[in-house]
Every structure is written in structure tokens, then in C-alpha cells.
Chains A and B, each alone.
Chain A
Amino acid sequence: MSPIDEISAPIGMPDANLWDDHLLRDYHFSKEVHALEMTVALFNSFILHQSAGETFLLVDLLSHEKPRAGRESPLNLVLLLDRSHSMFGGPFMEVRKAAQVVIDQLTGRDSLTVIAFDQELKVVVSSKRVLNKEEAKRRLEDIDVQGGSTDLHEALKAGLRELREYSGENTLDKIVLLTDGRPTHGKTEDEEFFRLAETIRDKGGSVSSVGVGLDYNEDLLGAISRLSGGAFYHSSRPREIKKIFKKEIAHFLNVSHRAIEMVVTPRRWVKVKEIFGLPHRFEDGRHIIELPDIEKFTEQTVLATLQYEPHQMGIFRLVDVQVKYLHAATGVEGELSGFAAGRFVEDPTVIKRGKNPRVDKALLRRNVKSDLISTIRGIRTRVLSRDEAQQQLRDYQRTLILSGATKEAQELGEAIAQLAKGEEEQAGKTLAQSTFSLERGKREISEDETPDEAAEEGEAE
């Protein structure tokens, strides 16, 4: 801002229409800085001024990182593999194969730890540099299914220990946990796991969990992943394990921005009531949200509910949003900042002009998630008949396709097929996975779907 601006505050306002336009458009900030784009938007840029109320805030982070952009950060990977008795036979063979595939994807810069666990732990591989891949694979061949019970807590603790052992300035610290059962040995309280998951996140790591079969506790695994910032997968067939591992490692290797911290600061007469699905804390009037790593061409959505008190008529800035991150390709720290402003009006008829289709879609996805949870409960308790459940899922599927969540829509299709075959439990777990990813608000963006197009298409409706 030039000095003259400071001394001569403009009188009156820029043309009112111009302001409306300005507010209706999303705020796009620093499009090309480190290939990360932030969009901040309100559910509606017009707000009735006389009364208190609630609205939604959307912050989208979209990575435009080129697919071939290099990676500065070596991967520091810990695999925790359940070898309790229930994994006997086929399942464990698949796990072994999957782990070997993982080893093939690593390079000499990456470090790898493999721990097999039942009620005891066995460190199978622990190497700072994955140089001798054949040796690591051979060691995997040596382990086999053993004890009867599962000490998941001890395994995670050991995972954290190993993770920190090889953790460096710039490493991507990741734990992948695979299990088919509930914790039966050692600490089994949910709270103990939640605390451990948070510790892992605080130390810069994350846990991605893979549930195999039907006996594991998807709520617990989901919570561990969510609290630590990892992903959650359900594998109905052991054959899929390899695919899931491959996919998750590919995600790690495609991370474009990490150590992402978002700070949302509401202005006076505005409060953040709720931030959906992501761990956060409140400090000095600011909400600090820790976001999972973002991969190339992935969009991370943060949705929050804002509460506001009555305002004077006019334009107000409601919240400030600041994002700090580490750019994986260069190892450079970066920062983005933006804000959401709204116009407090008297006339209720103008409200519908201010609706933002982009926020609308994000909310649709969010609502499907809540509905899914009750459907899953209905399936589990058999309150819903098979037909009713299928009908509901088809409705959700349609909504998901319309709101751009194609991956989850596909999973729902899978669950519908499982229900048709009478595999209620399988369907429940498949849906738990969809719920997880909808809650986390992460979406892979195909190259032809740019956010701008999405918005335009919404306006035309």
C-alpha cells in the first residue's frame, strides 16, 4: 500500500455491485506459490444482519504439484504386521507379499522397520538405509504366524520408538498398521490408543491402518488414523492387501506439502463452533488445525461452523486463515494467508444470490457422511432391511457423484454389491472406510476437474 492510500481514506464505497461480485467470488490466494492453492469461502456471502446465526466456512487446499516433481524428503517407514493366530495361512502370506512389494518401492535414501506382533514383538527389519532389499525380503520369509492374542498398544509404542530412531530433519515419518483383530493383550482401552495416536502426531508421524477381515474394530482403527493424520483402509479379501499397501506407499511418495498447520482466527462477534473431522486445538482465540500431508493433485477440505452475533449492516471480515507448510520438493517452509468476508444485509431476498456452490458441495459430502453412519448402524443392528439399506446407499451414491466424491461413490457401489450377496458385515466395513475418507475431507482431483469449472457449473443450476 502506498503512503497516499493511508492518508486519504476513500470516501464512499466502490460501486456496490462491484463489491457484491467481489464477495461472491471465492478468495483465491497465491495460486502458484509452491504449487499450493488456498480457497476460503463462506456458505453464503450475504448474511441477515439483525439476528445471530450460523454459517459454514470452507477452506480448500489444493496441490498443483507436477506429477514428476521430485521429493526432497526420504521416507521413514514403519510396518506393523499382525501375526496373531487368526492371520494363519492365506492372510499372512498375502501380508508378507505386500510387505515385499513395499520394499521394492523404497530407495536407498529411505529407512524401513518391520515389526511383527502378537502378544510379543519381533523386529524383523530395522535399517536406516534400504540398501539390501533381497536381505530384507528374505527376513520377511522367516516370520510366521504365532501367538493367539494381540497387543496392539505395545506394537504402536514400539512403532513410535522405531519411527523416532530414524526420524531426521526432513523425513516423512509414517507408520502402516495392519491387523485383523481387536486388541486383546496389554492395554486395550480406547483412550490409551487415542492418546498414543496424538503423541505420534505430535512427534510428526502418522498411522495409516489397514483392517483385514471382519473381526477388527473399525471404529478404533479409524480413530487412530484420524487422530494421527493417517489413512484408513478396509480389506475384505487378503488379496487386496498388496494393492492397498502399494497405494498407500505411492501416496507417501507423492506427498507435495507436509507439516501443514492451519490457523483460523475469528474476528469480534464471530466464533468457530465446530471444525469437522480434523484434530484441532484452541489457543489465544485462534483455532489451530493440524492437517494430514497433501499429495500431488489432492484437495484437502476443512469445513467449520461459524456462529455470529447480530452485526451492523455492511461488509465485515469474519475470519482470517493462515496456513504454514513444508514444500516437499524443495524442503522450503511456506505460508499462505487469506480471509472470508461477508456482507450483512437486511433484505432476505438477496440471500440466495450469495450462496457458494463449492461450499454447498462440500457440505453435501459431509452430510452423506453423517447419514452413512446411521445407515451403517441400521445394517449392523438389522433395523434396516437389506432392500432399505441398498436404497439409502444408492441415494447417497448419487449425491456423492454430484458433489465430486467419485472414489467414495465407487466404494458405496461395492457395499451395495456386498449387501446383495448378503455380506452385511463386509458392507459395514467397506462403508466405514468411506465414512473415514469423507470425514477427513480429502479428495483426489482429476486433471480435468478444476475448481473453477466446478463453481461455474454450480452457478448454472
Chain B
Amino acid sequence: MSVCPICGTENAAAEEWCTSCGWLPSQPAPGATPRDEVGIEQELSFRAFLVLPERGMVPLRKARTVIGREFGDILLPEDLNVSRIHLALVAEGGGLYVEDLRSSNGTLLNGVKIPPGRRYLLSNGDVITAGDSAIKVEFKGGPDEGAEGPGLYLQDSAGKRIRLRPGNNTVGRLPLNSVTIEESPYVAREHAVLSMERTPSGLFFLYLTDLGSSNGSFINQKPVPAHTRIRVHPNDEVTFADVTYRVIEIKAEED
């Protein structure tokens, strides 16, 4: 579901145009500052860095950072396998995403080629490969990946916790997913999305969308219909094929 910024109509996510006023959602909303001019601190609660070959750590400063051989904010002129405009790093709604800008040789996320024009949520420590250059993503100052700060977590049967971050957390077998499940062959390569959305009152709501996986997703053992966004509550059990997690909420300690 997405709300049209023009007329306020709620549209199914699959709608290419607003069903009421015909607005094309994939254009900047009117009055929006171009993303290139928005500071990254407005979108992220932590600081994001890239570790570049032979150049060390570079902070990201804008909500949209373009990387290319000749054009963009970060240039990689010596790598001839990098396209002139190669990829973009986009910060939005608390998450940092990578998007391939139809480069000739493609972009890899943790060794897996990502389709062009689509965005994938990045985690601390992810490695993006453009041409022959490996770029490591590092987050600082924010909730650390491993730390048990306040937030929402998925806890597996062994008690191990995976932190969910604001935005779309993809779940699947491929390593480019935010939650990678390698142990079960029944989990689809791109199985489901857990989207963590901030409500106007500042709370975080969690939604599960199954991406049409063969073996399905379940909330508290009940199958969920594919391509439908369903709210998940803390302490619910979510199951992807045969792998089950419990959703844990750790609240900030009250003063």
C-alpha cells in the first residue's frame, strides 16, 4: 500500500499510477527538495561510511550519492570496468539502499549481482562491488548491528537475534537480503519483506509481505497470502518456509 502524495488515495503497491488522480509515483513529489541536495542526516539516525580501495574511509554526506568512473559524487577513475555512472547509494526513511544505475558490468552486493534500477537495503559490513572495486559499507554512531539496543529483532530457535532496521528488510536465501537464511533450501531466494515503518507518533510498526514464495510465509503458524502486507506484532512468530523466528521488541529503558 502506498499513499498518493497528491490526492491521498491509498494505492496497492503494484499500481504504477495513482488509481484516482493518475499521478506517477516514481517521480519526485511536488515541493520535494531534489534528493541530491538533502543531507544524509535527515534520513539516517547513524553515520554511514564507505571503505574505498586505496582511499580508505569516506563519509556519505548526501541522501543520494552517485558513484561512477567519470560522473558522480565519488569517482573511481582508475577502474576501467566501472561505468561512467555506475550506482547510487540512497538514504531514505532510516535505511541506506544501493541501486545499480544500469551499469555495463553490473553491481554486486555481497557477491550477488543485483538487477538494475532496484534498491536493496544495506547492512553494516556489506560489500558492494563495482567493476573490480570492492566497497565496504560501515555504519557508525547508530545502533550497532550486534548490540542489544532498543528496537525490533528476529530471534531464531537457538536464541540468536537479528536486528531489523527501519525500511524494507528483505528475507531470503540470497546473501543480498537483509536477513539471509542459508540453512534451509525451502526458503526462496527472495522470500519475503519485513518492512519497519515509522508511524506519525514515532512508533515503529512491522509488516510482512510474502513475495510469492513457493513454500509460503506464516504468522503464528497461519499462512499469509502472497503480495499482501500484513502487520506483525512483537512476540509473534514469523515463519519463512520451515524457518521460524520470534519477533522481539526491546524497549528503551525508561528514566
Contact = CB atoms under 8 A, between A and B. Distances in A.
**A4, A314, A315 pick with most chain B CB within 10 angstroms:** A4
Interface stretch (A11-19, A71-79, A189-197): A11-19
**Closest 7 interchain pairs by CB?**
A317-B22, A267-B22, A3-B211, A268-B21, A8-B119, A312-B30, A6-B13
B21 to A, nearest CB: 4
Contacts of A267: 18, 20-22
Interface of B: 2, 6-7, 13-14, 16-18, 20-28, 30, 34-35, 64, 90, 92, 97, 99, 115, 117-120, 168, 170, 190, 193, 195, 209, 211-212, 227
Contacts of A270: 22
Contacts of A268: 7, 20-22
Given A3-B212, A268-B21, A268-B22, A8 B30 contact: no
11 contacts: A1-B16, A3-B211, A4-B190, A7-B193, A8-B120, A9-B25, A12-B35, A267-B18, A267-B20, A268-B22, A314-B24
A315 B27 contact: yes
A14 B21 contact: no
B20 A13 contact: no
Interface string A305-324: 00000001111111000000
A7 B17 contact: no
Contact of A5 (B22, B92, B118, B120): B118
A73 to B, nearest CB: 37
Contacts of B120: 8
Interface in A1-38: 1, 3-14, 19
B22 A341 contact: yes
**B22, B23, B27, B168 pick with most chain A CB within 10 angstroms:** B22
B195 A312 contact: no
Contacts of A14: 26
B118 A10 contact: yes
A10 B90 CA distance: 10
A341 B117 CA distance: 22
B23 A316 contact: yes
Contacts of A315: 23-24, 27
B24 A9 contact: no
Given A8-B120, A268-B7, A341-B24, 19 more contacts: A3-B212, A3-B227, A5-B118, A8-B97, A9-B2, A10-B26, A10-B99, A10-B117, A12-B35, A12-B90, A19-B27, A268-B21, A313-B30, A316-B22, A317-B18, A317-B22, A317-B24, A318-B22, A339-B17
Interface in A264-287: 267-270
Contacts of A3: 190, 211-212, 227
Contacts of A312: 6, 23, 30
A312 B25 CA distance: 13
A6 B22 contact: no
Contact of B28 (A4, A12, A316, A341): A12
A190 B168 CA distance: 66
A435 B103 CA distance: 56
A402 B195 CA distance: 58
Contacts of B21: 267-269, 316
Given A3-B212, A7-B195, A10-B99, A317 B227 contact: no
A338 to B, nearest CB: 13
B3 to A, nearest CB: 12
Contacts of B118: 4-5, 8, 10
B30 A314 contact: yes
Contacts of B90: 11-12
A339 B24 CA distance: 13
A264 B88 CA distance: 40
Given A3-B190, A6-B14, A314 B22 contact: no
A361 B17 CA distance: 30
Nearest to B92: A11
A46 B193 CA distance: 38
Contacts of B14: 1, 6
A258 B78 CA distance: 63
Contact of A11 (B16, B17, B35): B35
B66 to A, nearest CB: 10
Given A12-B64, A268-B7, A317 B30 contact: no
Nearest to A11: B90
**A11, A267, A270, A341 pick with most chain B CB within 10 angstroms:** A11
